[in-house]
């Protein structure tokens, strides 16, 4: 193996080794995992059934995290840098792309963003393009000596050409990009399959033998790694694989018993000495007799000689007893399903009420205590992803000629105080001497929001506003209880609260102007 192909083949091996875990994570998120059978005989008999009966709880730990990963703002050192960042964000549609990147990173554990310059005809950089890449096709190779340092990044994909399928690969280094391609018809799993991928020559010119290497002065690979752990991430729902397998088996088996609940299996006990069943036809006792020409159960009403209806007389000749076998009770399956859901919530650090929003939801201090580990996980993701976003836009500004740029990433709060108990607690903290700015920050509001609110507001006015928020929260809770009792409708409650909040905002604006 030549020195120039060692990195290529090692990167391909790393990609191939990691790909099955990524596919498994995606299957669990999509709910496409097959039912697990302990018996080979049952597997052969039932493996094609139950496709539409799976209850996919495994995606909840992923969605719960992604829903709270909302970027509030990305700013530069001054207004000019911030405008450039906003323009790059808009040009690349990051309002839609960023949540998808977070979702892929939380689902698979890893996600990659490739950032490249856009040049005009003179070679001047006029913009930046950003593209998400799956970890199934891209992988960062980290240094053994310094695990935080990327040695290079490999990207491999397949294209269909006139002569058949060819595999492409690019290796991204600190100072260059190497481009590789396979010979037509080869699989790309052998060193001999790969050759230099030369740039297409202009008409009438010989191909440039060095065009497979593209040099640059960026100082790092233009690939950015979003991950939930280091050096490579773990899917948010990886701890839920086992519970989800159990839920699949329980729900599918439960659906199998529904047929027996709707159409019980019956029996008839005979006395051999007195019973003659030779004149009975198969359809006499089978609600759904076999029919060579039918594609399913008949519905003619003539499937059995025993008819249910007014005036019908049942004649049972020679049978001493009849009965039916009871199907398994639903609780045999539903109770273990709830146990598995609780286990999944515990293992994945996801609040239980997010799996069942219709169930009993804790409120006030209780919900904050229950969500504390989950909120801590959210903040860890914000720190990790936020560091990568800073690297992305620092690099992008550098491509545009702005060196040593400073970028700040602000997130929407992972948790905020929005209930009566929380605001009463905040009010008590203020009364006991805790600085109001600190109280608002502890309540989950962003620093820039708090600074804006406190600008030009004295302590007495701020205390009054905190009291108003506590009163509004108390009223919302009481109106919610009234709606639950049917005293008022939810639409009336919403209208009342919207009107009250509008009046408060209008009053605050008048006071600010005076």
Q: What per-residue confidence (pLDDT) applies to 275?
A: 56
Is the confidence at residue 1, as pLDDT, over 60? no
Average pLDDT over residues 205-210: 82
| Region of poorest pLDDT, from 90-94, 301-305, 435-439, 481-485 | 301-305
pTM for the whole thing?
A: 0.74
Q: What per-residue confidence (pLDDT) applies to 6?
A: 93
Phi, psi of 136 (to 5 degrees): -75, -15
User: Could you give the CA distance from residue 140 to residue 154 in angstroms, rounded to a whole number?
Assistant: 7
Q: Between the CA of residue 304 and those of 285, 314, 353, 410, what are the distances in Å?
A: 6, 11, 49, 71
Element (H, E) at 180: strand 176-182
Mean model confidence pLDDT for the chain: 81
Is the confidence at residue 130, as pLDDT, over 60? yes
| Region of poorest pLDDT, from 78-82, 108-112, 335-339, 500-504 | 500-504
Quickly state the pLDDT bin for 101 (edges 50, 70, 90). Answer: very high
Q: What are 499's two structure tokens?
A: 């009107």
Strands 265-270 and 125-133: unpaired
- Express as a percent the part of the chain with pLDDT over 90: 45
Is the confidence at residue 69, as pLDDT, over 80? yes
Is the confidence at residue 265, as pLDDT, over 80? no
Omega into 109 within 30° of 0, i.e. cis?
no
> pLDDT higher for 145 or 266?
145
Q: What per-residue confidence (pLDDT) applies to 297?
A: 47
Contact by Cβ (8 Å): 156, 34:
no
Average pLDDT over residues 162-173: 89
Model confidence pLDDT, tens digit, residues 11-65: 999 999 999 999 999 999 999 887 666 555 555 555 555 456 678 999 999 999 9
Element (H, E) at 260: helix 241-262
Contact by Cβ (8 Å): 50, 35:
yes
| Region of poorest pLDDT, from 50-59, 221-230, 389-398, 404-413 | 50-59
* Coil, strand or helix at 446: coil
Model confidence pLDDT, tens digit, residues 345-390: 999 999 988 887 555 655 656 677 788 899 999 999 999 999 999 9
Contact by Cβ (8 Å): 15, 23:
no
* Coil, strand or helix at 410: strand
User: Could you give the CA distance from residue 383 to residue 386 in angstroms, rounded to a whole number?
Assistant: 5
């Amino acid at each position: 193996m030549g020195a120039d192909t060692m990195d290529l083949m090692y990167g391909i091996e790393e990609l191939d080794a990691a790909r099955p875990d990524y596919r498994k994570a995606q299957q669990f998120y999509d709910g496409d995992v097959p039912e697990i059978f302990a018996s080979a005989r049952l597997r052969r008999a039932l493996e094609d059934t139950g496709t539409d009966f799976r209850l996919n709880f495994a995606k909840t730990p992923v969605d719960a995290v992604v829903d709270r990963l909302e970027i509030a703002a990305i700013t530069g050192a001054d207004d000019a840098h911030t405008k450039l960042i906003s323009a790059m964000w808009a040009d690349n549609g990051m309002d839609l792309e960023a949540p998808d990147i977070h979702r892929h990173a939380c689902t698979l554990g890893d996600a990659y963003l490739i950032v490249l310059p856009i040049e005009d005809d003179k070679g001047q950089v006029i913009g930046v393009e950003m593209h998400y890449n799956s970890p199934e096709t891209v992988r960062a190779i980290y240094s053994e000596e310094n695990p935080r340092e990327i040695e290079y990044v490999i990207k491999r994909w397949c294209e269909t050409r006139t002569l058949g399928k060819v595999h492409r690969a690019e290796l991204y280094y600190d100072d260059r990009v190497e481009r590789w391609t396979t010979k037509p018809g080869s699989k790309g799993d052998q060193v001999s399959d790969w050759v230099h991928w030369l740039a297409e020559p202009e008409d009438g010119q010989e191909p440039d033998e060095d065009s497979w290497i593209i040099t640059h002065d960026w100082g790092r690979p233009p690939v950015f790694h979003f991950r939930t752990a280091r050096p490579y991430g773990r899917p948010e729902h990886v701890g839920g694989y086992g519970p989800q397998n159990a839920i699949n088996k329980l729900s599918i088996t439960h659906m199998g018993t529904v047929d027996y609940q709707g159409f019980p299996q019956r029996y008839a006990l005979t006395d051999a000495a007195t019973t003659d069943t030779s004149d009975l036809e198969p359809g006499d006792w089978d609600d759904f007799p076999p029919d060579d020409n039918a594609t399913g159960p008949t519905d003619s009403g003539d499937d059995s000689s025993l008819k249910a209806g007014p005036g019908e007389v049942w004649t049972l000749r020679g049978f001493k007893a009849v009965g039916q076998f009871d199907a398994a009770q639903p609780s045999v399956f539903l109770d273990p399903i709830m146990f598995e859901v609780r286990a999944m919530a515990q293992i994945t650090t996801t609040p239980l009420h997010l799996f069942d929003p219709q169930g009993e939801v804790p409120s006030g201090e209780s919900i904050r205590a229950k969500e504390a580990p989950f909120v801590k996980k959210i903040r860890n993701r914000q720190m990790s992803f936020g560091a990568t976003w800073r690297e992305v836009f620092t690099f992008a500004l550098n491509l545009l000629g702005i060196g040593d740029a400073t970028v700040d990433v602000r997130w929407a709060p992972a948790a905020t105080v929005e209930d009566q108990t929380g605001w009463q607690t905040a009010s008590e903290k203020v009364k006991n001497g805790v600085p109001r700015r600190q109280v608002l920050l502890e309540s989950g509001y962003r620093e820039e929001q708090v600074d804006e609110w406190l600008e030009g507001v004295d302590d007495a006015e701020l205390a009054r506003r905190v009291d108003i928020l506590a009163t509004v929260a108390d009223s919302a809770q009481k109106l919610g209880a009234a709606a639950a009792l049917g005293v008022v409708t939810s639409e009336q409650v919403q209208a009342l609260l919207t009107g009250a909040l509008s009046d408060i905002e209008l009053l605050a604006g008048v006071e600010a102007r005076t």
